[in-house]
Amino acid sequence: MTPPPGSLLAAEDLRKAYGPTVALDGAEFSIHPGEVVAVMGPSGSGKSTLLHCLAGIVPPDSGSITYNGRELATMPDAERSALRRSEFGFVFQFGQLVPELTCVENVALPLRLNGTSRKEAEKAALTWMERLEVDDLRKKRPGEVSGGQGQRVAVARALVTNPRVLFADEPTGALDSLNGERVMDLLTDAARSTNAAVVLVTHEARVAAYSDREIVVRDGKSRDMERVV
Amino acid sequence: MSIGHTLLGLLESGPRHGYDLKRAFDEKFGHDRPLHYGQVYSTMSRLLKNGLVEVDGIEPGGGPERKRYAITDAGITDVQRWLATPEKPEPYLQSTLYTKVVLALLTRRDAADILDTQRAEHLRMMRILTDRKRKGDLADQLICDHALFHLEADLRWLELTAARLDKLAEVVAK
Amino acid sequence: MSMGQWARDLGMGVRFAVAGGREGWTRALLTAVGVGLGVALLLLTTAVPNMLSVRHERDSARSDIDYSFAEKKKSDRTLVVADVDTDFRNKNIRGRELEPEGAKAPLPPGLEKFPAVGEMVVSPALKRLLESDDAKLLRERLPERIVGTIQETGLIGSHELAFFRGGGGLAPYIDGARVARIDRFGDTTPTETRTDPVLILMVIVVFVVLLMPVAVFIAAAVRFGGERRDRRLAALRLVGSDSRMTRRIAAGEALAGSVLGLVFGTGFFLLGREVAGSVEVFDVSVFPSYLNPSPALALLVGIAVPAAAVLVTMFAMRGVVIEPLGVVRTAKPTRRRLWWRLLLPLGGLAMLWPMIGQGRDGGTFNEYLVIGGVLLLLIGVTTLLPWVVEAVVARLGSGGVAWQLAVRRLQLSSGTAARMVNGVAVAVAGAIALQMLFAGVENDYTKNTGYDTERAQIQVSLSRGARLDPAAGKFRDTEGVRQVYAYAEGYLGERPKEPNMGAEVTVGDCASLREVAKLSSCRDGDAFYVTNAEYDEDTRKLAKDAGRTVFLDPSYEGGPRREEAAWTVPQGLKQAGMRMDPMGRERGGFLLTPKALPTAAQTALRGQVYLKLDASVPDVYDRVRNTSAAADPLSQPMAWSSTRTSDRYDTLRTGLFVGAVAVMALIGASLLVSQLEQLRDRKKLLSSLVAFGTRRRTLSLSVLWQTAIPIALGLLLASVVGMTLGVVLLKMTDTPVVVDWMSVLSMTGTGAGVVLAVTLLSLPPLLRLMRPDGLRTE
């Protein structure tokens, strides 16, 4: 099988087991630039594992992951890390902001990891914080801001490197509906404006409704809901 | 909910008398509201007229005459089409969906497929609503939100049912 | 509040302490080891006064020759004792020759019966030494048959070398100093003998220096897992326990660790007591039985340590309010103030200041001031360090991401960081100070003795009446002896008793005399005099009156009657020029050739033999001692050296080093535990940082910086305080101040090594924690 034409990131026949637990059992995935794809499924279905494999955080046991013509599944860790630093962005449910750093330093962190100077990195960070309407928090530490604000800071951090793919794992999981929607509005708008693809893992249908397409993962197998209808 | 499709589905497992059909329907789907025999009679004659069932034979007996109905190929196709078509996402859908799922299980069709089809339809609706909400004013937002919450509840039900299909199959097979 | 409720709450805390899984056990164990070490050290400390007094009692109970010169009559209850101390290598051996004069003669402590002539009873340590292969020379000197061992009551240390041997015909030699007649053992005129104040100072400082880090460690140990405990207590609040109950439960947890620590401590102490019985420091050894802490003090330790542990816990919880839904830290930490932190070390210095320059001879050190001063100085490290860390970290500029992460974390919780290294810093500071003190005092001991040892290295004083020439001959035949200078030496006065004038008398052949004076010509029968020697005032006057009668070996008031041999200052006395004698001393007075001295006066002089040795001959000193013992059993060889080398501090230094390293290793272990705990709490964060591409190297480096920065500051502060304390201690002992850079380096190096090891050991778990598993939310 070849990845669907025009896809930015595609995976085929992914298999991954953690010890005796099979997390992925032949999952497939593909996403185009600018597309928002929701990955849904019950707890323990393997949707987070799918995201981790797609993002090159963990290598799959077998199968292929093609990003922009490059094979991720067999790429060495250092290269995958570099890719994550420069081309991917991440938003998680919680516990992702470094509590010691101020918000602007947190947002600037991915740029600094790429070697950008502190001043420049923080300047770019501030631009993104403005877009996510959290620029007034720049001097605050994560412990001093609300959950919704923290998540928006995290989104700013994920986008500050202008990633081609944004991976969001339950980005609103710890938020109420109103804050969750605010984060989703800003996240999808920002991603669309930069033509970034968004892989959105969620178990909430109303969050998934922000996507263009939905993939359901059950027992380690994926199902593209477009093809069902 | 379509009684016709349901009765047709029940016939798929073999020819039945009218009373038989009513009893089977009541057992599986009737729960608190048993079907009136007259409803069965009129539905069956409509199906007969449309060529979806045929009379398999007449059993003479002490009571009223007992026609035995069997499903035709056209009938099977009709049931298939009905099951595969997602319902228009709207409130209080579950009785229809439930019937469809049970019938699918009874006729050894892929019940998960039915649920996924419905799920995709629900989400499509939700996308439209979400989009409208993002572009609309506060009134739009509130109206859309109401619908979205209901759809979300349905979707959760779909998910839950999908997760419990195996158990349901056991119950239905009894 | 009922007792039952109290007991229940405390009991629940105890259960939490021990039932927390592997981690809980590790924590309880580390706390217990820390508390145990503290308890053991405290018990040992409380036993030290007892130890010193037992030693003193034993020593005075066996004292025999008391220099009283009061002559006793021979009776059936008298005993003649001769001091036959000897040296083997650099070890002193206490020797006594015993000649009972009747059935009721007093038996010395530790002896069951008198050894007969040709027999001896030895201490266990001497027995071991004699039986070893390398003590052949000593065995030659002490050839008597060993018929028993001296009991503990007759010894003042487990490693003391001592013997008693049977003697005969000692009575003529009785002089009250070397040989005495006694009718009882024990000090008749007990004097308050002073233990070397420097030794006491060292003992005090050693214990304070070892105790302080242990105390800091205990304080840190009972706080292990504080955050987790707080969360647990919050959960208990949720199910309905009130804030007093939670405090009691926390107290119970702390109590469990420290009670276990008491058990450990008792074990450590008993172990330490046995070990103490098998080591020798400063040529001082003790028997385990000496180390019995007074019951009251032991009880105090047993109560104080658990109480302190509980108090520290309460103190640590003072700024924390445990609410049912979590932990609220009250009062944002205010900026640390410097003034009171400086007050402590300055106060310490102020307490030590008055004792500066007291020295070894200048009286006593006030123990309380010493303890207080050293304590305050060392506590000063723990109070200054948080301020220093905070002040420095707040000013640390930008750097790489790893640096930024570490600095920011330190800025946010510099207190935690400082607390982690406090123990190491205190240990290092104390150890540096002590090492400096040791090194300084050691230098003091290897100071120049002023003797010219180019020409002679050993002097043998023969006993009264021993003949000089045969003895000199024997020395000449001894291997390793290059040159023998033999003289009969004495002192004369212008009248037999209590003379007002005096002069030295030296008798030797012409060749020997030329070694001590410049003679123009010399024949046997000549007599010379030398004036203007050091301490000599009267020779000029006495030499002027030829024909005047003077008296050799005059008597003095309070002393025994001496020879008082008359001698006439001869005609034709020649003046001789002064020259340094073989011992590097200016020798004045009268120099006589043998014929110039009347035979009758010979017993008034003592034979002295000066020997020049070939240092390359192994054990040459002991060969000479053997010859000396063979030639004259009562002779006394004394070795001179230009520098007195002393290796007696080596063991102590090694011991201190080992102790400091052990304490630091313990602190390191606790550091590791809290480090891992901290890392585990940050699991999610670490995994998410890795997810967005942070290099593992960056995170590892940040962990390293995070410990390296406070430890560097801690070691710096420790070096400054340690050296300050060292300088003060050296000044107190009136010892020239020399900074022992080696020990500063080795101690700071050890401290740095411990931290490096902790970081390295926390890396594998860190790398494990950085795996994406931490990202799983479901």
Quick check: A216 contacting B, CB < 8 Å?
A: yes
Give contacts of A 24-53 with B, CB under 8 A. 42
C-beta of residue C115 within 8 angstroms of C-beta of residue C147: yes
Q: How far apart are the CA of A124 and the nearest CA of chain C, in angstroms? A: 17
Q: Pick from B48, B63, B81: which residue ends a domain?
A: B81
Closest residue, chain B, to A229 (C-alpha): B117
B110/B76 same-domain check: no
**Distance between CA atoms of C301 and C35, rounded to whole angstroms?**
11
C-alpha angle A187-A190-A194 in degrees, rounded to nearest 5: 135
Rounded to a whole number of angstroms, the distance from the CA of C198 to the nearest CA of chain A is 50
Tell me which of A130 and C140 has the higher pLDDT.
Answer: A130
Q: How far does A41 lie from chain C, in Å, by closest CA? A: 12
pTM, two decimal places? 0.66
Do B98 and B123 lie in a common domain?
yes
DSSP labels, B9-67: HHHTTS-EEHHHHHHHHIIIIITTSPPPHHHHHHHHHHHHHTTSEEEEEEE--SSS-EE
Q: What is the pLDDT of residue C778?
A: 41
Q: Is A174 on the interface with C (CB under 8 A)?
A: no
What pLDDT is stored for residue A36 in this prediction?
94
Domain carrying residue B10: 1-81
Same domain? For B36 and B66 the reply is yes
Which of A16-20, C412-416, C590-594, C643-647 is predicted least confidently? C643-647
- CA–CA separation, C401 vs C699, rounded Å? 9
What pLDDT is attached to residue C320?
A: 67
What distance in Å separates the CA atoms of residue C632 and residue C609, rounded to the nearest whole number? 12
Lowest-pLDDT choice from A181-185, B85-89, C15-19, C611-615: C15-19
Report d(CA C14, CA C31) in Å as an integer. 13
Q: Tell whether A139 lies on the interface with B, counting CB pairs under 8 A.
A: no
In percent, the amount of chain C with pLDDT more than 70 equals 85
Which of A40, A202, A204, A225 would you mutate first to test chain B, the one with the most B CBs within 10 A? A225
Kindly indicate the confidence band of residue C69, based on its pLDDT and cuts at 50, 70 and 90. low
Residue-level pLDDT at C192: 57
Cα separation, A110 vs B146, in Å, equals: 40
Do residue B137 and residue B66 come from a single domain? no
CB contacts, 8 Å: A97 with chain C: 685
**Shortest CA gap C406–chain A (Å):** 9
Contact B112, B131 (CB under 8 A): no
Does A206 contact B126 at a Cβ distance shorter than 8 Å?
yes
Instruction: Choose among B153, B163, B5, B144: nearest CA to B77.
Output: B5
Split at pLDDT 50, 70, 90, the class of B162 is: confident
**DSSP 3-state of C260:** helix
CB C565 within 8 A of CB C600: yes
Q: Does C398 touch chain A (CB under 8 A)?
A: yes
Closest approach of B92 to chain A, Cα-based (Å): 18
Check residue C134 and give its pLDDT.
80
Structure tokens at C261: 């620590």
Q: What angle do CA C438, C440, C441 make, to 5 degrees?
A: 65
Fill in the DSSP letter of residue C645.
-
- Measure the CA–CA gap between A138 and A160, rounded to whole angstroms: 14
Show Cβ contacts of residue A63 under 8 Å, excluding neighbours closer than 6 positions: A11, A12, A13, A14, A15, A24, A26, A27, A73
Tell me if C187 sits within 8 A of C56, measured CB to CB: no
Q: Residue A125 has what pLDDT?
A: 93
Averaged pLDDT for residues C62-71:
72
Nearest CA in chain A to B114: A228
**Among A31-35, C488-492, C772-776, where is mean pLDDT lowest?**
C772-776
| A162 phi-psi bin (left φ>0, alpha ψ -120 to 50, beta other) | left
Nearest neighbour of A93 by CB, restricted to C405, C408, C777:
C777
Domain limit, last residue, from B44, B66, B81? B81
Six token digits for residue C271: 């172990």
Proportion of chain B above pLDDT 70, given as a percent: 91
> For residues A169 and A154, what is the distance between their CA atoms, to the nearest angstrom?
12
How many CB pairs lie under 8 A apart between chains A and C?
Answer: 88
Model pLDDT, residue C226: 64
Which DSSP category does C497 fall into?
Answer: B
Please determine, for residue C141, whether its predicted confidence score (pLDDT) is greater than 80: yes
Q: Check if the beta carbon of residue A82 is closer than 8 Å to that of residue C693.
A: yes
Mean of all residue pLDDT scores within chain C: 79
Q: What are the structural domains, with CATH classification, of chain A?
A: 1-87+200-229 (3.40.50.300)
CA triple C590-C593-C597, angle to 5 deg: 75
Instruction: Note the ipTM here.
Output: 0.82
Residues B20, B23, B29, CA angle at the centre, nearest 5°?
A: 130
Considering the domain architecture, whether residues B1 and B73 belong to the same structural domain is answered as yes
Residue C156 has pLDDT above 70, yes or no: yes
Tell me how far the alpha carbon of residue B41 is from its chain's centroid. 19
Residue B45: CB atoms within 10 Å: 12
Phi, psi of A143 (to 5 degrees): -65, -15
Same domain membership, residue B49 and residue B26: yes
Residue C168: DSSP 8-state: -
Distance of CA C450 to the CA centre of its chain: 26
- pLDDT of chain A along its 229 residues, tens only? 456 778 899 999 999 988 888 889 989 999 999 999 999 988 888 888 899 899 888 889 999 999 988 898 888 888 888 888 889 998 988 767 888 788 998 999 888 888 888 889 999 999 999 988 898 998 888 888 888 899 999 999 999 989 999 999 888 888 888 888 888 998 999 888 899 999 999 988 889 999 999 999 988 888 887 765 4
pLDDT in tens, C618-635: 788 888 888 888 888 788
A168 CB-near residues (< 8 Å, 6+ apart): A90, A91, A92, A158, A187, A198, A199, A200, A201, A202
Angle at C773 between CA A42 and CA A73, to 5 degrees: 90
Q: Is the pLDDT of residue B57 over 60?
A: yes
Highest mean pLDDT among B128-132, C134-138, C483-487, C658-662: B128-132
Q: Where is pLDDT greater, at C554 or C119?
A: C119
Residue written as tokens 């006594």?
A: C96
Element of type H or E holding A12: strand A9-18
Label residue C163 by pLDDT band (50, 70, 90): very high
How do residues C555-577 score in pLDDT, each as one tens digit? 877 666 777 888 888 888 888 88
**C694 in A contact zone (CB under 8 Å):** yes
Question: Mutual orientation of helices B94-106 and B111-135 as an angle, nearest 10°?
Answer: 150
Q: Please tell me the total count of domains within chain B.
A: 2
Measure CA of the first residue to CA of the last residue in chain C; give whole Å: 45
Of the partner residues B116, B129, B159, the one whose CB lies closest to the CB of residue A42: B159
Nearest to C494 by CA among C554, C563, C575, C562: C554
Alpha-carbon gap, residue C716 to C380, rounded angstroms: 14
Instruction: Give A100: exposed, middle or buried? Use CB within 10 Å, 0-12, 13-18, 19+.
Output: buried
| Euclidean distance between CA atoms A225 and B2, whole angstroms | 26
Strands A21-31 and A9-18, sheet pairing: antiparallel
Asked if B100 and B145 sit in the same domain, the reply is: yes
Check pLDDT > 70 for residue C445.
no
d(CA C106, CA C83): 16
Residue B112 sits at φ, ψ, to 5 deg, of -60, -35
Q: What is the mean pLDDT of residues C26-53?
A: 76
Axis-axis angle for helices C696-732, C367-395 (nearest 10): 150
Which single residue is written with the structure tokens 């006793």?
A: C72
Res B155 pLDDT > 70: yes
Asked whether C139 and C95 are in contact (CB, 8 A), the reply is no
Euclidean distance between CA atoms C371 and C204, whole angstroms? 7
Residue ending a domain, among B81, B108, B133, is B81
For C477: left if phi > 0, alpha if psi spans -120 to 50, otherwise beta; the answer is alpha
In this structure, the answer to whether residues B36 and B68 fall within a common structural domain is yes
Q: How many residues would you count in chain B?
A: 174
Give the residue extent of every domain in chain C: 1-62+218-331, 64-182, 333-447+647-778, 458-639
Q: Which carries the bigger pLDDT value, residue C240 or residue B108?
A: B108
